[in-house]
Structure 1
Amino acid sequence: MSASYIPKNVYAICTFQTDAAPRKFIDTRSEISVFYSKGSRTLLTIEDKNIDKEFPCKSPKNAMWSFLAFGAGLLLGAALLALGPIGWLIVGIVAATSIGFGIYHATQISHKCTGSLNSGNWKIEHQTVRFNKQNAITQNSMLVCDAGGILSPIFSQSIAEKYAARIDALNNKEIWTNGIASFFGGAGAVLAFGEAAGAWGVTKVALWMGGTMGAVTVASYGEREVIRSTALSDNEHYQNMNEADRNEIIPGFIKDPTGTTPGDLGSPDIMEIDGKTGWFAKDPDGKLVVFFNGKQYIKDIKGNYTELKQGSQLANDLKKIENVDPREMYKNAEAKQIVENIRQGKYSESLVKSSIDGNNVVRPRDLIKVMPDLKAIKIQNIKNLGKLTVKGGGLIAFVFPFVATWFSEQSRMELANAMAEDMNNGIAVVSG
């Protein structure tokens, strides 16, 4: 396929950009003597690896939100547990470190391109034509950035702007997806380790996290492989892209640990370890449960929510008699109705246990003893619902890495589509 050579200031779009504006390729090589159109525009080679203005890059932006969300999740998890000073100190240090990393990556969002592009390489360059002793690049060429993105030249401003906007939208969806997963990962990690009983409980959580990390890595590799082998079969640029930027099963954080983000951690959220639904525990029906018992989970949600409502109703009822003399309580119609409600089981046992005497009898004069317990029970119910929400959210967020991978792959396809749509544009100087 004949393709135009690339002069300076041709538009550039990138699979990692997080704004809707294209940039322009510029010359950076030391020796320049080959131009297009009477010396006004340099014809670019594989040594020209920069753009006129940096893209806001997906890589540090994703790390920023992942670390900030993870830190927030850690603090939420700690708030839902009755942690002592040492526990809060440990979680606080880890959360502060995570948030600190997030703030650092925030400073890198608009400063990532130049160094990463210079460390990158042009692919699908012209094999025989050279300008200033360097291989020329064409419309078929792609610049693989060291940060992970792929850039391509686009002549048409309208095409460049259209696909830049699409890629920006996809990348921001991926970033938010990773951020949500990191938030639930942080909160779930604190809950899992905090509720773990003894060394074996902690070991189970660590094994679960390591196992899910490996499983997600392998499954994401398979997802990318399926997408790349089935999508855009008639798009030559996409096939070249897959060849130039091969799918790898070894995750990036193995090659570069400094690029690790909370999203790379396995999620402990769906593993219950409270003795009712944990590893090799048995549910109320006597059935073996390995990781997650949905029936017990729903039952716990309903129980805590019901008790929360009952506690609010009982508190409102008790306010009506709070100024009544306990010795006169047996005469009060509202007090007698509360006692009758208790005897009929309108309230859970934990709400009214303070009103039951040694003979297991509810007496009106003892109703006032219930008041101090209601606030503590309400707070505990709210915490329990918070824990269940974190675990349920973690179960849903468990699929988010695969959603994020899908968004990432869609960005690559949009770049390939832009290249294909732009092939009828270019300059008069074309390769054979």
Structure 2
Amino acid sequence: MSVSYIPKNVYAVCTFQTDNAPRMFVDTRAKISVFYSQGQRTLLTIEDRNINEEFPCKSPKNAMWSFLAFGAGLIVGAFLLSNPVGWVIALGVGSMIVGGYYATQINHKCTGALGNGHWALEHPKVRFNQERAITHNSMLVCDAGGVLSPIFSLDVANRYAQSISDNNAGEIFFNTIASFFGGAGAVLAFSGATAGVVGMAKLGGIAKTIGWMGGTMAFVAAGTYGQREVLRSNLAPGNEHYTRLNEVDANNPVPGYVPNPLGATPGDLGSPDILEVDAKSGWFAKDQEGRTVVVFNGRQYVKDVQGNYREFKESTKLASDLKKIEGIPPRELHKNEIARQITKDIRQGRYNESMVKLSRDGNQVVRPRDLIRVLPDARAVKINSFRTLGQLGVKGGGLIAFVFPFVATRFSEQARAELASAMAEDMNNGINVTCDQ
């Protein structure tokens, strides 16, 4: 098959770009003596690994938003507890500082990452200035994780740059949401595992939660790896450029992997709240025959949502009703219809005991006059209702934090398929200096 050599200033499209404009490949090799078009455009080789202007890169932008959201999630999770944990807040601030650092790297110069990268599918025989020539089939693999392809047509480059940018924006968005709920869920998971226990029991709760989270993260890693394998088999059937891209940019078991280990972000982690844990039977739920199984805790989510929502409504209504009788002398409360109804509701067990325990006298009898004891706690009840609503949101978001990495992976893989489609559409373009490859 005849393909074109690549001269300087051919357009470049990258799988990691987050804007809609292509760039241009430029020459960087020390010795240049092979040109196209009367010496005006260098014919490029594998030693020419740079572009005229940097791309705003998905890798640091993804890291920025993931760390900012993860830190915010930690802080929100801490304040949803009755006693906010100072070190968790500090950890959340630290995560946001890391995110701030990555914000300075979004428009990083591509020179270093491209210089440390390499051209793949270069011409196996032809050399310019003793270096292998690159062709229309070649791809530049960036050290930051992206893959760049030469595109001759400005129309093709613009259309696919926009599409790739849109897909990368979708990936970043879903990773950001997953990171937030992952951070908040982790705090609630740890607090739940250690609530009311000390010593070895507390350490055991922490160890179990860490194992729980690790199991979820391993499940997400394995799941997204398999998802990428399936997508790469089906996204662009018959596109030989996509087949080559998958060989050049191989699937990796670590989601979000790039050669730089700092490329991993909280968005790559699943929710710590997704696996069913049965405290009575061990680390994970067990079936009727006693075999350990890993399952989605759908039923538990429904139970938690229903319970939390009911408590939220109860605490909100109680706080509102107590506010209405505030200022009424205790001896007059038995004449007040609202006070009598609150007393009746408490006697019938409508409210959680933690909300109304101060209303009972020494004989555990609830009388309207004793509601005054609950009045000072009205504000605390209302605050608790807000915390309950927040915890309800985080628990409901646990499933989101688990599912969203899979959604983000779909966007990431689609961006790669778009690059291959651009290459296929552009193959009839090029210069009149071609080779057999």
- Give the TM-score, by structure 2 length: 0.88
Aligned to 1:431: 435
Aligned to 1:388: 392
Q: Tell me the SS of whatever aligns to 1:3.
A: strand
Superposed CA RMSD: 2.9
Change (3 A) 1:176 1:254: closer
Asked if structure 2 preserves the Cα contact closer than 8 Å seen for 1:308 and 1:378, the reply is no
Change (3 A) 1:99 1:6: same
What CA distance in whole angstroms lies between the structure 1 residues aligned with 2:118 and 2:307?
59
Change (3 A) 1:320 1:194: closer
Q: Identity of aligned pairs, percent?
A: 64
Aligned to 2:197: none
Aligned to 2:207: 203
Of 385, 407, 412, 2:411 maps to 407
Asked if structure 2 preserves the Cα contact closer than 8 Å seen for 1:278 and 1:292, the reply is no
Of 205, 210, 218, 2:222 maps to 218
Aligned to 1:168: 165
Q: Tell me the SS of whatever aligns to 2:413.
A: helix
Unaligned runs of 5+ in 2: 195-201, 287-291
What CA distance in whole angstroms lies between the structure 2 residues aligned with 1:151 and 1:333?
74
Name the count of aligned residue pairs.
426
Change (3 A) 1:374 1:163: same
Q: Tell me the SS of whatever aligns to 1:152.
A: strand
Residue type of the alignment partner of 2:125: T
Per-residue CA deviations over 1:149-180 (Å, capped at 9, x if unaligned) read: 11011111111000000000000111111111
CA displacement at 1:83 relative to structure 2: 3.6
Change (3 A) 1:180 1:38: same
What CA distance in whole angstroms lies between the structure 2 residues aligned with 1:280 and 1:238?
41
What CA distance in whole angstroms lies between the structure 2 residues aligned with 1:298 and 1:249?
32
Asked if structure 2 preserves the Cα contact closer than 8 Å seen for 1:267 and 1:394, the reply is yes
Residue type of the alignment partner of 1:403: V
Aligned to 2:289: none
**What pairs with 1:79-98 in structure 2 (closer than 5 Å)?**
79-83=79-83, 87-88=85-86, 90-98=87-95
Asked if structure 1 preserves the Cα contact closer than 8 Å seen for 2:322 and 2:375, the reply is yes
CA displacement at 1:328 relative to structure 2: 3.3
Aligned to 2:272: 268
1:29 paired to 2:29: yes
Aligned to 2:99: 102
Aligned to 2:239: 235
Q: Tell me the SS of whatever aligns to 1:24.
A: strand
What CA distance in whole angstroms lies between the structure 1 residues aligned with 2:67 and 2:281?
30
Moved more, 375-384 or 6-15: 375-384
CA displacement at 1:318 relative to structure 2: 3.9
Q: Tell me the SS of whatever aligns to 1:31.
A: coil
Change (3 A) 1:154 1:340: same
Per-residue CA deviations over 1:188-217 (Å, capped at 9, x if unaligned) read: 222222222312211111212222333322
What CA distance in whole angstroms lies between the structure 1 residues aligned with 2:258 and 2:369?
67
Per-residue CA deviations over 1:51-89 (Å, capped at 9, x if unaligned) read: 1000001111111111111111110111112346xx31x
Aligned to 2:122: 125
CA displacement at 1:304 relative to structure 2: 3.6
Aligned to 1:192: 189
What CA distance in whole angstroms lies between the structure 2 residues aligned with 1:210 and 1:343?
45
1:43 paired to 2:43: yes
CA displacement at 1:262 relative to structure 2: 1.8
Moved more, 92-101 or 1-10: 92-101
Asked if structure 1 preserves the Cα contact closer than 8 Å seen for 2:316 and 2:381, the reply is no
Asked if structure 1 preserves the Cα contact closer than 8 Å seen for 2:145 and 2:259, the reply is no
What CA distance in whole angstroms lies between the structure 2 residues aligned with 1:45 and 1:402?
38
Aligned to 2:420: 416
Unaligned runs of 5+ in 1: 283-287
Q: Tell me the SS of whatever aligns to 2:374.
A: helix
What CA distance in whole angstroms lies between the structure 2 residues aligned with 1:62 and 1:349?
45
CA displacement at 1:141 relative to structure 2: 1.0
Asked if structure 2 preserves the Cα contact closer than 8 Å seen for 1:178 and 1:404, the reply is yes
Q: Tell me the SS of whatever aligns to 1:82.
A: coil
What CA distance in whole angstroms lies between the structure 1 residues aligned with 2:276 and 2:107?
41
CA displacement at 1:415 relative to structure 2: 0.4
CA displacement at 1:19 relative to structure 2: 0.4
CA displacement at 1:427 relative to structure 2: 1.3
What CA distance in whole angstroms lies between the structure 2 residues aligned with 1:131 and 1:231?
36
Asked if structure 1 preserves the Cα contact closer than 8 Å seen for 2:117 and 2:142, the reply is yes
- Give the TM-score, by structure 1 length: 0.89
Aligned to 1:73: 73
